[in-house]
Amino acid sequence: MQAAWLLGALVVPHLLGFGHGARGAEREWEGGWGGAQEEEREREALMLKHLQEALGLPAGRGDENPAGTVEGKEDWEMEEDQGEEEEEEATPTPSSSPSPSPTPEDIVTYILGRLAGLDAGLHQLHVRLHALDTRVVELTQGLRQLRNAAGDTRDAVQALQEAQGRAEHEHGRLEGCLKGLRLGHKCFLLSRDFETQAAAQARCTARGGSLAQPADRQQMEALTRYLRAALAPYNWPVWLGVHDRRAEGLYLFENGQRVSFFAWHRAPRPELGAQPSAAPHPLSADQPNGGTLENCVAQASDDGSWWDHDCQRRLYYVCEFPF
């Protein structure tokens, strides 16, 4: 490093003297203060150039034109323009630019677009829900009308059933009194259908009557004559409306009244002077003899006597109707 500076110290004065001799004539021709300044700049540029060469430093672009003339400047500007054009040509232009990263404005725009789509979908849903609500209201009104119509129909059916029941009752009463036996304020009518005691009572009730309930001896004798004339010459037991189902030995009519008289069958008594039979005939035993197994009463059609029977036995029956 010291050797370099020493070399510079030796070379610089020589260069300065050489430049002064070389430019003497030109300085005399130009003259004036401007020429001295120009000469001084040239001298400094040459010194700098030789110093850079001595030190081994790269020469700058400005050293190639130490005089700083206009032609040098134009050449330097043209070289710079060409260099910029070469750099632009050397820079490869990408065929397809990469997709830029989304900006906040793009994100906000996307969110607003999605919200607008959701709002449109919600609007469509509201329209459909409104249509469904309207349809539900119409269906509800129709259902209410149907219920009202069904209620009216049910009331009409019930009224028809009641009217039919009254008609059947009236028909049974008229038939009983026209075809059967009229006695005071009631009529008796024999039915030749075989039914249990409960079924016979149900059929008499459906026709507006009840199983026969002779209230006294006079009605009992009149009913006996009616049955004998209807079923002679045979003896058919006929259900009456008498039973002791509630308590053994407590005989009641179907209307709940207690029976005040009885016409039970009794076995025939031996004549005077005849030997009594050791065992009575089973068909002529005194009645009632069934105990808890026979709780319903039937009347014989030949002599009008009462017999207790099993209530599930199927017999003829006689109904009575109010007149």
For 31-86, the pLDDT digits (tens) are 555 566 787 788 777 767 766 666 666 655 444 444 444 444 455 456 555 655 55
Separation in Å, CA 204 to CA 174, 185, 322 = 13, 17, 12
Q: pLDDT tens digits for 100-158?
A: 677 888 888 888 888 999 999 999 999 999 999 999 999 999 999 999 999 999 999 99
Nearest residue to 210 (alpha-carbon basis) of 255, 275, 149: 255
Examine the pLDDT at 95 and tell me if it is beyond 70: no
CB count in 10 Å sphere of residue 154:
10
Position 272, amino acid = L
Examine the pLDDT at 295 and tell me if it is beyond 80: yes
Residue 284: pLDDT band with limits 50, 70, 90: low
Examine the pLDDT at 222 and tell me if it is beyond 80: yes
**Which pLDDT score, from 0 to 100, does residue 62 have?**
44
Which 3 state secondary structure label does DSSP give 303? coil
Cis peptide, bond prior to residue 233, ω within 30 of zero: yes
Which 3 state secondary structure label does DSSP give 40? helix
**Which pLDDT score, from 0 to 100, does residue 166 have?**
87
**Which pLDDT score, from 0 to 100, does residue 79 have?**
54
- Superfamily of domain 180-266+284-322 in CATH is Mannose-Binding Protein A, subunit A (3.10.100.10)
**Cα–Cα dist 242/213, whole Å:** 7
Element (H, E) at 26: helix 24-30
Give this prediction's pTM.
Answer: 0.52
Q: pLDDT tens digits for 169-183?
A: 888 888 888 999 998
More confident residue, 156 or 12: 156
Exposure string (b/e) for 43-52, b if CB count within 10 Å is 16 or more? bebbbbbbbe
Position 197, amino acid = Q
**Which pLDDT score, from 0 to 100, does residue 165 have?**
84
